[in-house]
Amino acid sequence: MKLGLVGLGKMGGNMRQRIRDAGIDVVGYDRNAEISDSDSLADMVAQLGEGPRVVWLMLPVQFVKQTLDELKDLLGEGDIVVDGGNSKWINDKNNAAYLSDAGIGYLDVGVSGGVWGRQNGYALMVGGSDPDVATVMPVFEALKPEGDYGFVHAGGVGAGHFAKMVHNGIEYGMMQSLAEGWELLMAADEVTDVPAVFASWQEGSVVKSWLLDLCVLAMKDDPKLDKIRGFAEDSGEGRWTVEAGVDLAVPTPAITAALYARFSSRQEDPPAMKLVSAMRNQFGGHAVVEDKPAVVDESDVDESTAQSSDAS
C-alpha cells in the first residue's frame, strides 16, 4: 500500500522514516519544500495512485480543517483520512460527518512517542470504524512498538483523541510530581547527589518510568539544570482534560494542579503571590521583599540596613 503523510515536522518526519523502514511506500507533503516528497496536496494524492488511498495528517489543530477542505475535493469513495495530530476530540465527529458526504472514511489517532518514536515505536490510540481500522492496520503495525502493547482501537470516532487527551493529562501530573520531588531534593542539605538519587529509582522502585529515565538523561549533562529556564508551555490537551473533567463531573485535582503549575512557570514574578505576601505580612508580620525599594535619605540609615538599588 501507499500512504500520504501531511506534515513532516519532528513527529511526522520520523514517522515517515519508520513506516518506510517497514516496507511501506510513503509520499510526504510539507510546506517546507526541502523535506517534502511532493509539490502540493494534489500532487501527493496523485502519486498515491488507485484507491483505497490513505492520507495521514500530522498537523497543528489550527490547520486541520483547511486541509480537510482540500482533501475532500481530491479524495473519493473508499479513501480514508487519518488525523494523527493533537486535535480536540469534540471536532472528530464533525470531521467524520463532513468527509462521509464524499464517501471518505475518517480515523482519529492519538500518537505518543515524541522524538524517540522512530527508534522505539509509537503508542497509538485509535478511534473509528472497524473496516477503516483494518485498512490502515499495516501502517499501525509499522508505527507501534514490537510486542503486544502500544496499540488500541479505543472505540468509535473521537475515542482515539479522547484517550490521548487523558494520556497527556496524566503525563502532566506525573511530570509535575517528578519536578516537585527534584526541587525538594535539591533544597535539602542532607542530599548531596540528586541525579544519583533519581538514577537509583530506575530499577526496583514503584516510580520507575520512562519519564524518570528522561529526567536522569537530562541531568547527565546538566546536573542542576542550570542551562534550562523554568518555563513550560502546555499543548492544550491538559486544558481539555480539565474541561472534560468539569463537563463529566469527574474530579481531576492532580492534573488540574499540574496545569496551573505550568501557567505559574510563565510568570517571572507571579502577581497573585504579591497579595499572598501582603496578607502574610498583615496577619503575621512576616517580612516582604519589596519589588522597588522606596527612595530613602541615605544619611538617615545605617549602611548595613540600606537596600541596594541594583536588586532586581
Asked if 237 is an active-site residue, the reply is no
Cβ atoms 16, 143 nearer than 8 A: no
User: Which amino acid is present at 158?
Assistant: G
Cβ atoms 71, 97 nearer than 8 A: no
Task: Show the cell assigned to 48.
Answer: 498515491
Within 8 A by CB and 6+ apart from 165, the residues are 88, 89, 110, 237, 240, 241, 244
**Residue tagged active-site, from 34, 65, 93, 171:** 171
Within 8 A by CB and 6+ apart from 230, the residues are 265
Asked if 183 is an active-site residue, the reply is no
C-alpha span between 133 and 54 (Å, rounded): 11
Task: Show the cell assigned to 140.
Answer: 499501525
Residue 57: which of 20, 29, 83 has the closest Cα?
83
C-alpha span between 34 and 249 (Å, rounded): 48
Q: Alpha-carbon torsion 50, 51, 56, 59, what sign?
A: positive
Cβ atoms 217, 178 nearer than 8 A: no
**Residue tagged active-site, from 2, 93, 164, 292:** 164
**The CA-based dihedral angle spanning residues 187, 192, 197, 199, taken in that order and rounded to the nearest 10 degrees:** 120
Cite the DSSP H helix spans in the chain. Answer: 10-21, 41-47, 64-74, 92-100, 117-120, 130-143, 159-187, 194-200, 210-221, 237-247, 253-265, 271-284
- Residue 5: Cβ within 10 Å count: 26
Active-site amino acid positions: 164, 171
